[in-house]
Structure 1
Amino acid sequence: MTLSAAAEPGADDGPVGRAGSAGGAGGAGEGGGERPGARLAQVDALRGFALLGILLVNIGFQASAYHGVGLAEPGFDSPLDGAVRWFVALFFESKFFLLFSFLFGYSFTLQLASAERDGVRFAPRFLRRLTGLFVLGVLHAVLLFSGDILTTYALLGLILFAARRVRPRAAVRTAVILLTVTASLYLLLAAGVFLMGGADVPDAGAAAEAERATQALRGGPGSVIGQHLAELSEFVFALIFLQAPASLAAFFLGLAAGRARALGDLARHRATLVRLQWAGFTVGLLGAGVYAWGNLADAGDAFQILAIGIDLLTAPLLSAAYGATVLRLTQGRFGRRTVALLGPVGSMTLTGYLTQSLVCALLFTGYGAGLVGRVPPAGVLAIALALFAAQVVASRWWLRRYRSGPVEWALRAWTTLSVPPLRREAQDGRPGRGAWTRPGGCG
């Protein structure tokens, strides 16, 4: 089963953390440098954009059990249905979890700096944070969506913690080695399958399994949970051999960028952002085309494995191009609008990610409407866009009244073993409606 974009959207306890930057439309340091304790609003905007990509991919797995085994849902074979599948596979699948992974690594450096600034021990706090993420991930996987990656991020976070003193160049080299070795293994496997004749016909048993899963997901809560538990082994395989190495590589790239505070002074790195756009929208997009063809064109097992290997090498480029584009938008003519649109939902992504799974569970499983397998791809895409639009509005409303999202607040309380303030207060002591860009920060 392909798990292409489930991601851990809350690398910190909601807001990207303290260490942001001075000035700029999105808080980016147009004047250069970062001011300790300030917010990185442009990173919140990037998180918000990534959350949209996560939703557009994950909802496909929740709306169709056939999607999870690499088959098209029976009855939805119109040109529009095919176009939507190609659109999501080409531009979104396997791209957006890398953005969150990168931001996890980046935020890790902010958390380190915050602990040093506040004079607190970092290790106990960070390990409690990882424990909290792991527990949330287990509950999420069992109750709502078996494609959870919070648990994986919590475990990979231990490696990041152990490597916290690595130098930026060594971190980049480690990331390149991880991606290259993993991709090489897929390329070798593809060659082996090809030489052995491969299985170039669809697995008849996959369709039967998908139909059985569909009926189970339409059942009651016990049936839904049972199906989630049955799917975990397949998702775990995809996580260990595909997403975990790629996520860890992105962790290290984020760690290197965080050490350099690269996102705090975007004007200084404009040339790098442009180069990332050129590389991503050429080489990265070509690799995405190979990936989409391998997954949708029934080209045979060998080619599908080959496509995954190529995607491991090129998806980071396209992800970087997306990120560079959003970051440049936050610094340009429409910077304030971009931050105002994406920033609020991006500053409470853990709440947003879990809410997406909850809403989709209520729509597509027996928890609620039981629409799994009954909505065409175009309808699924429309639902995703409507849900994200509602999250944008709700997040803005919430953060005018509260300092952080509810799940972020709970995770921070566990992390710090304290009861952090939640509701905003105006300067005169009355309940306030302050701008969302000034929440209490994450420690």
Structure 2
Amino acid sequence: MADLAPVPRSEREPLLDVLRALALCVVVTDNVMTTFSGSSFLPKTSPDYIHNEGLSGMLFRLLMGLRSMTVMSFLFGLGFSIQLTRAKDSEVTAMYLRRLTGMFALGMCHIALVWWGDILWIYALAGLVLLPCRKASTRTLIGIGLALAILPRAIPLIPFVGTALVPDETAIRQMKESMLAAIYGTEHGPMFTAHLRTLFYVHVCNLPWFLPWLAGRFILGFVAGRHRIFENNGANHLPLFRKLAIGGAFVALLGGAVRITLMGREMAPELKFVVRLVDDTAVVASVAMGISLVVLLMQNARWQRWLSVLIPVGRTPLTTYLSQSVIATFLFYGWGLGLARHVQGPKAGLVGLAIFMVQIAIAGAWLRRYELGPLEWVWRTLAYGKRQPMRRQPRSLEQVV
């Protein structure tokens, strides 16, 4: 195998960068609609409460909930499998562990300095599951990956399990009240305390199911990378993507129909468990459909040209993700412009889209001068254990698309 080295820019698949960018668009829209604007922390009776049981809450779950995280974690697993094929086993193991360590450290800095909702540190923990996957068969990995992608989130709905895993309503209500006060306030001390409290109840308490849930998506991405289904923008496997688009649409619509039918009804614990399984199956199916549609669109020259506008963002995902938190907290928190008092729920999603549009322009301008985004450079330097080149050489100043 080749010596351990980053994938050259000329060998990157544009499709993967487009998928990554589209996921980041949903990430910022989702996060602004829910947490940065404070809509997730409002009382359930508030008309702007994003997770309500009415039509708006149902549409949010059907169109937004968990999709971006599914795509990003899938691409994470795929990226590791690509790297694995390029280097010796011992080298890639050491590099991968440094990569996870660097990701964990960046996540901790993100939490301490900006925002409680960082996902990087959890990705770093869940990513350990990919190391033993290298020697497993594809059939085994698909079975384990699908089971972990669908089952874990339903486990807390089992009565005796839920009692142990889920905090009581009083603790959750107090957490939401403190977080909302911190968003509206101007003091960094109370904000930091509220962030840590929210981190504990939203992320730490959910790790027993969240880690395997993420791991399942990593494994499915690993399998896709092992079989190189996205090479040549997916053109080598178009029949597969057509089947995934049709099948994914059917399952996603069926899951949506189940959710609409049961909307507003009181459900027994057993039915809640089944509905949660249907929901997560629909999430996986809708993501498979969405990815497949992008693959099929990328076969058309005009669509490929339009979608290629997103590539610079897909090449700077870490910088894009972390800068979204900086921009959004400044816009919505009381220490900045304080928009959370005036713009919440779906209206805030438009602000998220505006943030993403600005990031497209910034990423494109940056990559015309530099090989990597600033935080990608830090992460790659940590992963490879040596300083990486940053400024682009004159001979490599090809147009960024």
What is the CA–CA distance in structure 1 between the aligned matches of 2:268 and 2:175, rounded to whole Å? 19
> Which of residues 217, 224, 227 is equivalent to 2:194?
227
Change in Cα spacing, 1:293 to 1:152, as seen in structure 2 (3 Å) is farther
Confirm or deny: 8 A CA contact 2:244 2:289 kept in the other structure.
yes
Give the equivalent residue in structure 2 for 1:40. 13
Cα offset, 1:189, TM superposition: 4.3
What is the CA–CA distance in structure 2 between the aligned matches of 1:250 and 1:282, rounded to whole Å? 20
Task: Could you tell me which runs of 5 or more consecutive residues in structure 2 were left unpaired when the two chains were aligned.
Answer: 1-5
Does 2:315 correspond to 1:343?
no
Give the equivalent residue in structure 2 for 1:50. 23
- Stretch deviating more after TM superposition (413-422 or 398-407): 413-422
Give the equivalent residue in structure 1 for 2:222. 255
- What are the superposed Cα offsets for residues 357-400 of structure 1, whole Å, 9 maximum, x if unpaired? 11111112233123334313243011011111111111111111
Confirm or deny: 8 A CA contact 2:110 2:322 kept in the other structure.
yes
Confirm or deny: 8 A CA contact 2:41 2:49 kept in the other structure.
no
Aligned residue identity for 1:63: F
- Secondary structure of the corresponding residue to residue 7 of structure 2: coil
Give the equivalent residue in structure 2 for 1:31. none
- Stretch deviating more after TM superposition (281-290 or 96-105): 281-290
Confirm or deny: 8 A CA contact 1:66 1:210 kept in the other structure.
no
- Secondary structure of the corresponding residue to residue 45 of structure 1: helix
Confirm or deny: 8 A CA contact 1:59 1:380 kept in the other structure.
yes
- What are the superposed Cα offsets for residues 121-151 of structure 1, whole Å, 9 maximum, x if unpaired? 2222111110110011112233323222211
Task: Pick the structure with more helix per residue.
Answer: 2
Give the equivalent residue in structure 2 for 1:160. 130
Change in Cα spacing, 1:61 to 1:140, as seen in structure 2 (3 Å) is farther
What is the CA–CA distance in structure 2 between the aligned matches of 1:216 and 1:251, rounded to whole Å? 34
Confirm or deny: 8 A CA contact 2:116 2:199 kept in the other structure.
yes
Cα offset, 1:333, TM superposition: 3.5
Matches within 5 A, 1:34-433: 38-68=11-41, 71-72=43-44, 74=46, 76=48, 85-116=57-88, 121-179=91-149, 181-182=151-152, 185=155, 188-189=158-159, 209-217=175-183, 218-237=185-204, 239-265=206-232, 266-288=234-256, 290=258, 297=264, 299=266, 302=269, 306-427=274-395, 433=397
Does 2:7 correspond to 1:18?
yes
Give the equivalent residue in structure 1 for 2:3. none
Aligned residue identity for 1:230: R
Give the equivalent residue in structure 2 for 1:14. none
Cα offset, 1:242, TM superposition: 4.3
Aligned residue identity for 2:76: F
Task: Could you tell me which runs of 5 or more consecutive residues in structure 1 were left unpaired when the two chains were aligned.
Answer: 1-16, 21-36, 194-201, 438-443
- Secondary structure of the corresponding residue to residue 401 of structure 1: coil
What is the CA–CA distance in structure 1 between the aligned matches of 2:224 and 2:357, rounded to whole Å? 30
Cα offset, 1:356, TM superposition: 0.8
- What are the superposed Cα offsets for residues 139-169 of structure 1, whole Å, 9 maximum, x if unpaired? 2233323222211111111121232222222
What is the CA–CA distance in structure 1 between the aligned matches of 2:280 and 2:104, rounded to whole Å? 25
> Percent identity among equivalent residues?
28
Aligned residue identity for 1:318: S
- Secondary structure of the corresponding residue to residue 339 of structure 2: coil
Aligned residue identity for 2:78: Y
Cα offset, 1:213, TM superposition: 2.2
What is the CA–CA distance in structure 2 between the aligned matches of 1:382 and 1:144, rounded to whole Å? 22
Confirm or deny: 8 A CA contact 2:95 2:384 kept in the other structure.
yes
- What are the superposed Cα offsets for residues 225-283 of structure 1, whole Å, 9 maximum, x if unpaired? 11110111212256424432222111111111111111104223112111111122221
- Aligned-residue RMSD, C-alpha: 3.3
- Number of equivalences: 387
Change in Cα spacing, 1:290 to 1:229, as seen in structure 2 (3 Å) is farther
- What are the superposed Cα offsets for residues 305-364 of structure 1, whole Å, 9 maximum, x if unpaired? 554332222211111111111121112243432442221111111111101111111112
Change in Cα spacing, 1:370 to 1:182, as seen in structure 2 (3 Å) is same
What is the CA–CA distance in structure 2 between the aligned matches of 1:398 and 1:216, rounded to whole Å? 34
Confirm or deny: 8 A CA contact 2:154 2:276 kept in the other structure.
no
Change in Cα spacing, 1:169 to 1:58, as seen in structure 2 (3 Å) is same
- Secondary structure of the corresponding residue to residue 114 of structure 1: coil
